[in-house]
Amino acid sequence: MLKDRYSFNQNALYLMAQDQELAPDKYPDAINLCTGTPGFLNPAYKTPNILVPFTDAAYQNLSTFSPEFTENMRDYCADKIGHDIPQDNFLIGVSTFNYFRYLVDVLPEYQSGNVKNQKGSTVVISPQGSYLLWNRIGGEMVKSDDDLSLMETQYDSGYKITAKDIEKWAQSRSENLQNRPTVLPLENPSIGGHVYSAEELIDIHASCKENGIFIFYDEVYRETCAPCVEFTSLPAVIDDMDNVLAVTTFSKGYGNLQLNLAGATGPSEVCELLYPHFKDEWRKTTTNHIKMVESIINDLNKEYLEHARTLYADKVEAVAQKVEELGKTLTAPLKIPHLPQAGYSMFIDATKAVTGQDSLDKKEGAALNKSLFEKFAQQGLVTQPLHASGIQDRLMVRLVFGNNDQKEINKGLDVMSSVIRAYEAGMT
């Protein structure tokens, strides 16, 4: 297991992530503000002719993706990313996680553009604030501790990835990370609700090109942008895709995590290397999935998306207001480093509220993060500790509330403030 191979710091992060992953089952009666479940089901999923039971018969009804369906998916993805997708540059698969996992496997075989003459296993860059890497990707993909490398991001930007962060990582990488295939996962929007501008995307792409880094570009949250936010897709603003695999899927925006069919575009050589992993992916889906996707491709539910985006934005605003109100009852307020522009989650900084300090020693941070996470859970609130994403010098919590109503969210935040007040009083 990964935890047996990692150094202390990485081992601690991995174990923290594993604890969080298991927490909803360990504390079944606690309020769950840690699971990334969308809160609004697409109306199409509720119609009788689409809601096909998940049975063996449903699987048998689908023999393959039809040429027409494949073509429609390609056109849909091309429209989303902002330019045409040649047939040789397109794949259909199941799950963005599978795309990333297989890309990590095949990247050493890809020798083109600025990634020529790279040898060895793939290095996965893990940016601070990208929570799921440490338990899901780190725990199931990398072969050794040399295959996963933490990239620092900045508190002042809300842990949003920048070209400067990439340059700093590239310049400081150790000798054993040099001249190896390397991949950076880039979510737009991110799990923290950041939406990247065209200029930011161009700069990130240029920095990765210059430093021989391949980009795994994921737009799973793009349909959750607030109505006032302008979304820009990376493929729409760059000149080439030699070092990019861009994935478009439906599960988050359309409110069904089982709807994980995904289209991807990238270099034809990469698509060719990935194809053997995906050629039988139709076996993992069902006729009802296809009908759901067809309803989306045919734009049958535009009003749904507009409604969902408004609801998510209103919920973010309400949560931020509640956090601000609770902060007034504490010795030092809770902080929100970045007000989300998309999605249904929020980063909250509890460092000063708990400790009276702006930041912590990393060793002290590890112990306090573990203690705080456990106290929350024991008192009835399960959260995501961002210590598990490599943010080791602060008490950063990610709240995920897509599937929770405001009453439940408020109750969870009341638990949070109650635990923090106990720390203030020295009762923990």
Tell me which of 3-17, 34-48, 229-243, 281-295 is least confident: 3-17
Residue 211's contacts (CB-CB under 8 Å, 6 or more residues apart) are 166, 167, 170, 182
Say how many residues make up the chain: 428
Q: How far apart are CA 74 and CA 81, in angstroms?
A: 11
> What b/e readout covers 272-286, taking b as 16+ CB neighbours within 10 angstroms?
ebbeebbeebbebbb
pLDDT digits (tens, 9 = 90+) for 104-151: 999 999 965 555 566 788 888 989 988 655 444 445 566 676 788 889
Q: Is the pLDDT of residue 69 over 60?
A: yes
Q: Is the pLDDT of residue 39 over 80?
A: no
Q: What three-state secondary structure class fits 187?
A: strand
Residue range 287-295: mean pLDDT, rounded: 72
Considering only CA atoms, which of 137, 139, 168 is closest in space to residue 152? 168
Residue range 50-54: mean pLDDT, rounded: 43
The single-letter code of the amino acid at 414 is D
Tell me which of 101-105, 141-145, 196-200, 327-331 is least confident: 141-145
Residue range 192-202: mean pLDDT, rounded: 97
Separation of CA 420 from chain center = 28
The predicted pLDDT at position 119 comes to 78
The predicted pLDDT at position 97 comes to 83
The confidence band for 50, taking pLDDT boundaries of 50, 70 and 90, is very low
The two tokens of residue 23 are: 């927490």
Q: Give the pairing of strands 213-218 and 182-187.
A: parallel
The predicted pLDDT at position 116 comes to 59
Main-chain phi, psi angles of 79, to 5 degrees:
-65, -40
The two tokens of residue 190 are: 């991110």
User: Token pair 């106990």 is at which residue?
Assistant: 422
The predicted pLDDT at position 45 comes to 53
Q: Which listed CATH number (3.90.1210.10, 3.40.640.10, 2.60.40.10, 3.30.70.100) goes with 44-300?
A: 3.40.640.10
Q: Name the residue with higher pLDDT: 144 or 359.
A: 359
The predicted pLDDT at position 138 comes to 46
Q: How far apart are CA 320 and CA 346, in angstroms?
A: 8
The CA-CA-CA angle for residues 346, 220, 51, to 5°, reads: 110
The predicted pLDDT at position 155 comes to 94
Q: Name the residue with higher pLDDT: 251 or 240.
A: 240
Q: At what angle do helices 287-297 and 67-81 cross, to 10 degrees?
A: 40
pLDDT digits (tens, 9 = 90+) for 299-324: 766 777 888 889 899 999 999 999 99
Residue 98's contacts (CB-CB under 8 Å, 6 or more residues apart) are 277, 278
Q: Name the residue with higher pLDDT: 27 or 54.
A: 27
Q: Where are the domains of the chain?
A: 2-40+303-424, 44-300
Q: How far apart are CA 111 and CA 113, in angstroms?
A: 7
The runs of H, that is alpha helices, within 285-301 are 287-297
Mean per-residue pLDDT over the chain, rounded? 83
The superfamily (CATH) of domain 2-40+303-424 is Aspartate Aminotransferase, domain 1 (3.90.1150.10)
